[in-house]
Amino acid sequence: RQNVDLKWRRKEKDIKRLSQLQLFLLKTVCPYLKRNGVLLYVTCTLTKEENERIVEKFLNEFKNFRLQNIADHTPQYAPFCQKGIFQTLPYVHNLEGFFAALFYKVDD
């Protein structure tokens, strides 16, 4: 595993700062998507603040986006998907930790 000590070096303020940055990046790029466009949000972290909470905040603010099931596009990854979101967990899947959510723009 890469950076196995990262979870001990990362502070709560780092997670807050990074999650704010990630949400800012999503908000910045989403206006450039055309109708029916897709936006893939990916992280290599395991924190809910940087993953699920960002997805929730983004969808609450941008009503013209929907979460699309990643397994519909990549069926081979279906075992790693729950509620349409892709996630690998080192302690479950014996893989690096990754998170991915696919957003679909329904309207301008």
Catalytic center residues: 44
HEC secondary structure over the chain: CCCCCHHHHCCHHHHHHHHHHHHHHHHHHHHHCCCCCEEEEEECCCCCCCCHHHHHHHHHHCCCEEEECHHHHCHHHHHHEECCEEEECHHHHCCCCEEEEEEEECCC
Cβ-contact 7, 44 below 8 angstroms: no
